[in-house]
Structure 1
Amino acid sequence: MPIEILMPALSPTMEEGTLAKWLVKEGDTVSSGDVMCEIETDKATMEFEAVDEGVIGKILIADGTEGVAVNTPIAMLLEEGESADDIGKSPSKQDAKPKEADAAPKADAPAQAESSATKASAAPQKDGERIFATPLARRIAADKGLDLSRIKGSGPHGRIVKADVENAKADAPMPAGAGARPAAPTTPTPVSADAVIKMYQGREFEEVKLDGMRKTIAARLTEAKQSIPHFYLRRDIQLDALMSFRADLNKQLEHRGVKLSVNDFIIKACALALQQVPDANSVWAGDRTLKLKPSDVAVAVAIEGGLFTPVLKDAETKSLSTLSAEMKDLAARARDRKLAPHEYQGGSFAISNLGMFGIDNFDAVINPPHGAILAVGAGVKKPIVGKDGELGVATVMSVTLSVDHRVIDGALGAQLLNAIKDNLENPMAMLA
């Protein structure tokens, strides 16, 4: 029987993607390892390889199709002795094992009976007309007690996808007797897009379509701010010793083509601080915390239309020059959207530096499941009172530590921030 090739989950958080480009056509023979298509996730464009050999019998999802849910059939693969005429003749597509799904398993993927082309799209009917929705959208609608017939789909051919259900108004209840749990809204209903557009009627504006990355950023940061009990700790850090030490090091490293940035020192200082205050090197895991041994530090990198947070693993063991080279490489590939998922997932702590943009100080939103994030402002000349009581001038950098109170209490967070401050104000000790 022809085999369904399913939309893969290319990262643990991927729920849908864009089938950017087919690199094969119907009738082509493919072998294991052959690249069949390019798929855009919310973070990057990645190649999808075949895991079996056969002939592409039918392409089900066209180039450029957005919002393709994970485990949706995208093509049919013919095995030896089969032809395109065999497609659709099998008694039940659920009997055909979707071998491509094994290439990118997803923990909460629906049962195979749900992944056939018909069952993945069909929902309850309205006036004899089928309603198309993804399995995930149907499950969310059932949980929220929403009637799919009253929700407008934004997916291909009007199919209802996850975002449509999540943004649906609470006034679309499931019909009586449908057996779904009644909706129990716990947060205010957000203002709808139609209401916002109506508000600005008569004013000149341009609608900007959200890409997958911007949608993900909006969803994750909204969830983070609503669900994580943030608290904030602030310190001023004097940088004069660091600036002098950095200048000396860069002169010594000039022949190797290495130029250390202040951000490289910040990364190293945070990595060492997580070792000095090990209880703070933790993440939230739902009903428990995970205390990490290595210092895996994420660093926010701005790219066009969004941001990445590539992770520098084992940062406490690496030299400043190694951290600098690794950070430059990750940042360059982030801007080209060429990072692999394992390079921007994980870590226990993050750094967001807007000092280079002239920002004095700000509060960053924690990137779950991290326990904290350090917001770094610009280093500026300020008057200070020295230990002897005399007035002086120093280069001062303001930082704010945003902390998840479920993971790190106030006193522990203060210890962590103090350790970061001490490391930056005594930079030579970081090389010991």
Structure 2
Amino acid sequence: MAEIISMPQLSDTMEEGTVIKWNKKVGDKVSEGDILAEIETDKAIQDFEIDVNGILLFIGVKEGEKTRVNDTLAIIGEEGEDISFLLSKFKKNKEKERRFISPVAKKMAKKIGIPINQIKGSGEKGRIIKRDIETYEKTFDIKNLNHNKNKEVITRYPHSSMRKRIATHLTNSKFTAPHYYLVIEINVGEMIQLRKNLNEKLSIEDRISFNDIIIKAVSISLKNHTNVNASWKKEEIIYHPHINIGVAVSVKDGLLVPVIRNTDQKSLLQISKEIKDKVLRSKSRKIQPEEIENSTFTVSNLGMYGIEFFTSIINIPNSSILSVGAIMEKPIVKDSKIEIGHVMKVTLSCDHRIIDGTTGSSYLHSLKNLLEDPITILV
């Protein structure tokens, strides 16, 4: 008997998914365990593994198209099986979706160049009607922009699933957790020398980055300041026994934060290799949802882009996030003499519900001491 295969919910926050690639075509035999398609969620691109046997009789979503969770993705059944009833049901559901905008409104939106998913319908059951298009047009003066060559044309793109999730997450953090910021300058001359000495002994693919050293030092400092490795809950503060460092990675359409678990228990080389692997898979959206969950502290490094100083929004439920700036040359005082040195500014964004000023300051000074004498992180 034919079975409808629905768009799966591949993450706890997923509301819709985009089919990136079908690995089977209509008429192909499929077996339990086969990867039917690659699906992009709000977090990653994941393989969708099928759990039934049969023939792929129908594909309901084209490559590049998105659909909501639980909508029909495909139909699998026996060869030659009559699925006309299921197809008619599928078509009716599609027609229902199309009726959310009137033909006149749809024509107007296409002519003017308005993405209809940006318009809230005022008709029955949220249907977009002519009046909605006219209101939208007047508000944004789109008609003049599109038809007057002397003016710029506004380009609009609908929000991606990832961008919507990021917006919700960061808005919730910024307006829930009372942020404050602590900045400290670190003399990183010894860190630079340590990295140089280590990399002289390592192969090109195993070379250590400054970020690797910083993350190792962050985890050791957290081990000595457990009150920073915490999360705020409605009725309690949770002090985590494990140290899981989230590493902010810029990807197309947003930001992913793969997590290095039990960072304090891993060697510098282990941390480096794991970061390289997870950054690579994050950029190709092949990271798995469970690999970007359950961080206890986050590090965001924009130093590689020449940013000297910045602040970050806390990645809740973490209680803090460390923003790492660029390494800069400047005059410093050493042994009562002025010389050219290398310094780096880091900013700790703190949730004041959990971390008081003295607590955050104590943590930053611990981190500073480690990075100014980094050989201790190898012990």
From 308, 312, 318, the counterpart of 1:360:
308
Structure 2, gaps ≥5 residues long: 110-114, 126-135
Alpha-carbon distance between aligned partners in 1 of 2:137 and 2:164, rounded to the nearest angstrom: 14
TM-score (norm 1): 0.71
Aligned position for 1:19: 19
Structure 1 segment 57-68 matched on structure 2, within 5 A: 57-66=57-66, 68=67
Mapped pair 1:416 → 2:357: no
Structure 2 vs 1, CA of residues 174 and 427 (structure 1 numbering), >3 Å: closer, same or farther? farther
Alpha-carbon distance between aligned partners in 2 of 1:341 and 1:207, rounded to the nearest angstrom: 32
SS at match of 2:346: strand
Aligned position for 1:403: 350
Q: Deviations over 1:77-110 (max 9, x none)?
A: 3369x922473499xx9xxxxxxxxxxxxxxxxx
SS at match of 1:278: coil
Structure 2 vs 1, CA of residues 22 and 247 (structure 1 numbering), >3 Å: closer, same or farther? closer
Aligned length: 353
Structure 2 vs 1, CA of residues 236 and 61 (structure 1 numbering), >3 Å: closer, same or farther? same
Give the drift of 1:389: 5.2
Give the drift of 1:420: 1.5
Give the drift of 1:284: 3.5
Report the residue type matching 2:230 in the other structure: S
Give the drift of 1:73: 2.2
Whether contact under 8 Å (1:72, 1:117) holds in the other structure is: no
Structure 1 segment 13-412 matched on structure 2, within 5 A: 13-66=13-66, 68-78=67-77, 83-85=81-83, 87-88=85-86, 131=100, 168=120, 195=139, 198=142, 201=145, 203-205=151-153, 207=155, 209=157, 210-251=159-200, 253-254=201-202, 258-386=206-334, 390-412=337-359
SS at match of 2:202: helix
Report the residue type matching 1:283 in the other structure: S
208-217 or 310-319: bigger deviation:
208-217
Alpha-carbon distance between aligned partners in 2 of 1:119 and 1:256, rounded to the nearest angstrom: 55
Structure 1, gaps ≥5 residues long: 94-115, 124-128, 133-149, 155-159, 176-191
Give the drift of 1:228: 2.6
Report the residue type matching 2:59 in the other structure: I
Structure 2 vs 1, CA of residues 287 and 8 (structure 1 numbering), >3 Å: closer, same or farther? farther
SS at match of 1:244: helix
TM-score (norm 2): 0.80
Identical amino acids, percent of aligned pairs:
36
Give the drift of 1:28: 3.2
257-266 or 311-320: bigger deviation:
257-266
Q: Which has the higher contact order (CA 8 A, sep 6+)?
A: 2
Alpha-carbon distance between aligned partners in 1 of 2:2 and 2:138, rounded to the nearest angstrom: 44
Structure 2 vs 1, CA of residues 350 and 204 (structure 1 numbering), >3 Å: closer, same or farther? same
SS at match of 1:254: coil
Alpha-carbon distance between aligned partners in 2 of 1:87 and 1:368, rounded to the nearest angstrom: 47
Report the residue type matching 2:53 in the other structure: E
SS at match of 2:194: helix
Structure 2 vs 1, CA of residues 197 and 17 (structure 1 numbering), >3 Å: closer, same or farther? farther
Q: Deviations over 1:252-293 (max 9, x none)?
A: x23686322211110001111111111211234455443222
Alpha-carbon distance between aligned partners in 2 of 1:224 and 1:193, rounded to the nearest angstrom: 34
Structure 2 vs 1, CA of residues 120 and 261 (structure 1 numbering), >3 Å: closer, same or farther? same
Alpha-carbon distance between aligned partners in 1 of 2:99 and 2:123, rounded to the nearest angstrom: 19
Aligned position for 2:5: 5
Report the residue type matching 1:25 in the other structure: K
Give the drift of 1:117: 8.8
Q: Deviations over 1:334-354 (max 9, x none)?
A: 222221122222211111111
SS at match of 1:84: coil
Structure 2 vs 1, CA of residues 198 and 284 (structure 1 numbering), >3 Å: closer, same or farther? farther
Whether contact under 8 Å (1:73, 1:117) holds in the other structure is: no
Alpha-carbon distance between aligned partners in 2 of 1:404 and 1:328, rounded to the nearest angstrom: 29
194-203 or 215-224: bigger deviation:
194-203
